[in-house]
Structure 1
Amino acid sequence: MKELQYLNKYFAKYKFQFFLGIFITIVAQIFSLFTPGYIGHSVSEIEKFSNNTIGADAVRSSLTNDILLIVLTTLVGGVLTFFMRQTLIVMSRHVEFDLKNEIFRHYENLSQGFYKRNRTGDLMNRISEDVNRVRQYVGPAIMYAFNTVIRFVVIITQMILISPKLTFYTLLPLPILAYSIYWVSKQINIRSTLTQQNLSSLATYTQEMFSGIRVIKAYSLEKQKGEGFIELSRDSVKKNMSLAKVNALFGPLMIFLIGISNLVVVYVGGSMYINGSIADIGTIAQFILYINMLTWPVASLGWISSMVQEAEASQKRINEFLKTEPDIKNTNPNHSPVLGHIAFDNVSFTYEDTNITALRNVSFSVNKGETLAILGRTGSGKSTVLSLISRLYDADGGAVKIDNENVKALNLDDLRGSIGFVPQDAFLFSDSIKNNIRFGKEDADDAEVVAVAKKAVVHHNIETFTHQYETVLGERGITLSGGQKQRVSIARALIKDAPILLLDDCLSAVDTETEEAILNNLQDFCRDKTTIIVSHRVSSAKNADRIIILEDGEIIEQGTHNELVNMQGYYKELYLKQLSEKEMQ
């Protein structure tokens, strides 16, 4: 249970509920002792009546009294058991809530590289299915474990007080039980881990299929992908059946051993009664009831062990992620105001997962209020520049500076809060268009939303929708076209009104006329902002204060539009090519 020790802090947090639940459990088990005693007493009274030791009225009065006491103690025990469940199970729900939030917050803090290395389905499975299995340990497993231990202690103590010899013979099967639990628990741990790993694979596969359903339909791959799902499902059935077979051993094994104990009680107890070691036949009835009261605790040992082993396997998977340290950390807890001057000083960067060097000794600077355009072929390192400014990654060499301060020394929240970012792949949430735009400023009113939508030249499109700004988008904004998604994403960045605006090829899906309208609006909007535009189009870059051309992670050209057009190089070739394409349209 090494991995489950991580949960000790939650037991400490909810120690009042925990110890209260244990106390109620102890009291409930003490009350459960009375019933067999009263039944044993009733049997003894009937025996005395059959031997003519006492009269009918006396035995009737005694039996009535015993029945009332049995009903009373059973009711009290039932009420206490209810409160035990309410205390411990509710506590487990609080732990589940806290653990899920802890995992989610940790997911938020982990760096971009982490999400490249791990699959979404697996991450979802660990925060849902794995946490649920851990809750089963914190709640039902702990509750029944204490219930079992306390019942064992209370009942066996009572049995020893009545007859040590009969108790010894009755409990002889317990060593066999202990070894059986050890062996089966070990098998459950192994098979539960394999089951959870398969479940993650299945969740990842289905999540990718649902996300990429348009591509699957376009390429008519439904049959092949369906066969892949069937294969994973078969593997899932195989692993779950393997786990179920081991779990299924517990019930019959426990009942068999309890049955043997009952036979021992009848045989040994009967022999002791015959030879006079036991004076009262009610003792045998009492022992049989005690043994059967142990049936559920003994049988539940397997269930408890199964839950503990499954929780151990799940917590191990959770701990793997919780122990993962984010590559990007906030090293400055103090407030860091950002004005907008940006400088790269011999910056180099290599992606760890692919070992691709994206930037090599890149140096440039952009003053507050200026616009820089970055052009270059695919894979030249343009998007990497933007990622380093917002600290999605940290440079391997050199320094990225904002306001003459290394970005690593700035408060991370202040840094990212000072940047309006429009990614290359516009991502919209499954929410209304209004809320997607307000993602950049949660307290924005409707007038502000409409104003930035107009600047992004998407307002007229939204007005044609039935529910206009209240239109709820499908997953990843699938309701909108590519150009509409890009423009809503631009509006989201504009409403943030941050001192730095980063645009990563965010006009690639719009026509040239719309692009020109958006750029004209941006020119007015960004007069006091530092703007960096990454693009493949000269039309997006020509009005920038400065343009740099990247190739294989190095700056090969830089200057204004007029300066670069008058130079023989990549920019002039691209300008002439795109100019001729425009004339042909």
Structure 2
Amino acid sequence: MKELKYINKYFKKYAVQLLLGIFITIVARVFSLVTPSYVKKSIEVLERYGGDLISKSEAKEILLQHILIIIGTALLAALFTFLMRQTIIKVSRFIEYDLKNEVFDHYQLLSLNFYKKNRTGDLMNRISEDVSEVRNYAGPALMYGINTITLFATIVPLMFMTAPKLAVYTLLPLPILSVLIYKISKVIHKRSTIVQQYLSKLSTFTQESFSGISVIKAYSLENKINNELTDLAIEGKNKSMDLAKVNAWFFPLMVLLIGISTIFVIYIGGQQYINGEITSIGVILEFVIYVNMLTWPVAVIGWLTSIVQRAEASQKRINEFLSITPSIKNDVLEDTPLNGKIEFRNVTFTYEDTEITALKNISFTIEKGDTVAIIGKTGSGKSTILDLVARLYDVSSGEILLDDVPIKKLNLNSIRTEIGAVPQDAFLFSDTIKSNIKFGKENATDEEIIAVAKKAVVHKNIMGFNKKYDTILGERGITLSGGQKQRVSIARALLKDPKIYLFDDCLSAVDTETEEKILNNLKNASKDKTTLIVSHRVSSAKNADKIIILKEGEILQIGTHNSLIEIDGYYKDLYHAQLIDKEN
């Protein structure tokens, strides 16, 4: 259970509620112990009546008193059992809530490299299925474990005090049960881990299938995907059945051992009564009730073992992620406002997952309020520059400065708060268009939202929908076209009104006429704002204060539009080629 030690901090956090729950559990079990002793006393009353030691009326009166005591204590035991569940199970839900938040918060701290190496389905499974397994340990397992320990701690001494020899024979099967549980629990732990891994695989496969459903339909791959899912589900089912077969041994074995205990009570107790070692048949009945009271606690041991083993396997998977140190650390706690100056000094960057060097010893300076266009072929390192400015990655060598301060010496939240980024693959949430735009500014008014939508030349499109700005988008904004998604993303960035704009080829899906309108609006909206525009089109770059041409991670050319078209090279060739295409 070493992996489960991680949640001990939550047990400490809710120590008062847990201690109250433990106390209530003990009280509930104490009240439940009244029944066997008073059943024995009732049998003794009947024996005394049968031996003419008491009258019929006296026997009735005493029996009525015993019955009322049994009913009263049973009701009190039921009440405290209810309170026990309300206390301990609620704590387990609080722990589940805290653990899910901790995992999610840690996910948000981890770098993009982490998400390149791990699949979404697996991440979702760990924060849902695995955390739920841990909750079962912190709730039902803990509650029934305390209940079992309390019963054993109270019933066993009572049995030895009442009839020591009979108690020994009655409890004889229990050590055998303990050994069997110890052996089987090892197998459960191993198979539980495998089952959780296959659940992650299944979640990942289905998540990717749903996300890529348009590709699956376009290539008519439904049957192939269905067959793959069937194979994966069958394999997962077989692993689950392997676990279920082991779990299936518990209850039959326990029922058998409890049955043997009952036989011992009747046979050994009967002999002792015949030999005069036990003076009342009520003792035998009392022991039968004790055995029945121990039936569920003993039977639940196997279930508890299974829960603990599954929780251990799940917490181990959670701990694997929680132990990962974020590669991007925020070492500056105080806010560090930005003005917008950007400087790259001999920056080299290599992607960890592919070991591709995207930038090679590049240097440039962008003054506050400048608009800089970055142009180059696919894979030249354009988007990497934007990612480094937003500090989604840290440079391999060299240094990036914002306002003449090394980027690592600035508060990470301050940096990203002052950046309005529009990625090439625009991501929209499954919410209303209005909410997606307000993502840039939560307290924005409708007038502000409409104003930025007009600047992004998407207002008319939105007004064409039945519910206009209240239109609910499908997953990843699938309701909108590519160009519409890009323009909604631009509106979101404009609404944020940051000090730095990062536009990553965000006009690739719009026509040149719309592009021209948006660029003119952006020029007016981004006055006194530092703007970086990544593009493949000269039309997006020609009005920039500076144009940087990249080739294979190195700066090939740098200058203004007018200066670059006067020099033979990549930019001049690209300009003439696109000019000819436009004329045609």
TM-score grouping bracket, smaller chain normalisation: over 0.9
Superposed displacement of residue 62, structure 1: 2.0
Q: 1:387-422: per-residue Cα shift (whole Å, max 9, x none)?
A: 000000000100011101111110000000011100
Whole-angstrom distance in 2 between the partners of 1:28 and 1:516: 77
Residue pairs, 1:85-100, within 5 angstroms:
85-100=85-100
* TM-score of the two chains, using structure 1 as the length reference: 0.99
Whole-angstrom distance in 1 between the partners of 2:580 and 2:342: 35
Query: Which secondary structure does the structure 1 equivalent of 2:532 belong to?
Result: strand
Q: Determine whether 1:203 maps to 2:197.
A: no
Question: In the alignment, what sits opposite 1:253?
Answer: 253
Query: Which secondary structure does the structure 1 equivalent of 2:362 belong to?
Result: strand
Whole-angstrom distance in 1 between the partners of 2:284 and 2:505: 86
Superposed displacement of residue 214, structure 1: 0.6
Question: In the alignment, what sits opposite 1:562?
Answer: 562
Whole-angstrom distance in 2 between the partners of 1:145 and 1:467: 55
Question: In the alignment, what sits opposite 1:477?
Answer: 477
Question: In the alignment, what sits opposite 1:519?
Answer: 519
Question: In the alignment, what sits opposite 1:453?
Answer: 453
Question: In the alignment, what sits opposite 1:365?
Answer: 365
Q: 1:80-117: per-residue Cα shift (whole Å, max 9, x none)?
A: 11101111011111111111111111111111111111
Superposed displacement of residue 59, structure 1: 2.0
Whole-angstrom distance in 2 between the partners of 1:257 and 1:47: 31
Superposed displacement of residue 57, structure 1: 2.0
Superposed displacement of residue 68, structure 1: 1.1
- Pairwise CA RMSD: 0.8
Question: In the alignment, what sits opposite 2:387?
Answer: 387
Superposed displacement of residue 236, structure 1: 1.3
Question: In the alignment, what sits opposite 1:350?
Answer: 350
Whole-angstrom distance in 1 between the partners of 2:108 and 2:126: 15
Question: In the alignment, what sits opposite 2:320?
Answer: 320
Query: Which secondary structure does the structure 1 equivalent of 2:249 belong to?
Result: helix
Whole-angstrom distance in 2 between the partners of 1:481 and 1:223: 28
Q: Determine whether 1:227 maps to 2:236.
A: no
Whole-angstrom distance in 1 between the partners of 2:455 and 2:69: 81
Question: In the alignment, what sits opposite 1:151?
Answer: 151
Superposed displacement of residue 49, structure 1: 2.5
Residue pairs, 1:46-445, within 5 angstroms:
46-445=46-445
**Alignment-mate amino acid for residue 111 of structure 1:** S
**Alignment-mate amino acid for residue 366 of structure 2:** V
Superposed displacement of residue 47, structure 1: 2.3
Q: 1:513-543: per-residue Cα shift (whole Å, max 9, x none)?
A: 0001111111111120110100000110011
**Alignment-mate amino acid for residue 72 of structure 1:** G
Whole-angstrom distance in 1 between the partners of 2:524 and 2:341: 19
Whole-angstrom distance in 2 between the partners of 1:527 and 1:96: 48
Q: 1:143-200: per-residue Cα shift (whole Å, max 9, x none)?
A: 0000000001100011111111111111111111101111121111111110000000
Whole-angstrom distance in 2 between the partners of 1:66 and 1:325: 64
**Alignment-mate amino acid for residue 263 of structure 1:** I
Whole-angstrom distance in 2 between the partners of 1:536 and 1:78: 73
Whole-angstrom distance in 1 between the partners of 2:166 and 2:354: 71
Superposed displacement of residue 337, structure 1: 1.1
Query: Which secondary structure does the structure 1 equivalent of 2:441 belong to?
Result: coil
Query: Which secondary structure does the structure 2 equivalent of 1:379 belong to?
Result: coil
**Alignment-mate amino acid for residue 208 of structure 1:** E
Superposed displacement of residue 131, structure 1: 0.8
Query: Which secondary structure does the structure 2 equivalent of 1:54 belong to?
Result: coil
Whole-angstrom distance in 1 between the partners of 2:477 and 2:426: 9
> Which sits farther off after the overlay, 413-422 or 62-71?
62-71
**Alignment-mate amino acid for residue 349 of structure 1:** F
> Which sits farther off after the overlay, 537-546 or 39-48?
39-48
Whole-angstrom distance in 2 between the partners of 1:105 and 1:179: 42
Whole-angstrom distance in 2 between the partners of 1:288 and 1:518: 85
**Alignment-mate amino acid for residue 347 of structure 2:** V
Superposed displacement of residue 431, structure 1: 0.7
Query: Which secondary structure does the structure 2 equivalent of 1:440 belong to?
Result: coil
Superposed displacement of residue 556, structure 1: 0.9
Superposed displacement of residue 48, structure 1: 2.6
Whole-angstrom distance in 1 between the partners of 2:472 and 2:26: 54
Whole-angstrom distance in 1 between the partners of 2:545 and 2:561: 8
* TM-score of the two chains, using structure 2 as the length reference: 0.99
**Structure 2 gap segments, 5+ residues each:** none
Whole-angstrom distance in 2 between the partners of 1:535 and 1:78: 71
Whole-angstrom distance in 2 between the partners of 1:467 and 1:62: 77
Question: In the alignment, what sits opposite 1:509?
Answer: 509
Query: Which secondary structure does the structure 1 equivalent of 2:431 belong to?
Result: coil
Whole-angstrom distance in 1 between the partners of 2:86 and 2:331: 44
**Alignment-mate amino acid for residue 279 of structure 1:** T
Q: 1:332-382: per-residue Cα shift (whole Å, max 9, x none)?
A: 001101000001000000000000000000100100111111000000000
Whole-angstrom distance in 2 between the partners of 1:64 and 1:242: 53
Report how many residues are paired: 584
Whole-angstrom distance in 2 between the partners of 1:464 and 1:263: 81
Q: Percent identity?
A: 60
Whole-angstrom distance in 1 between the partners of 2:60 and 2:521: 98
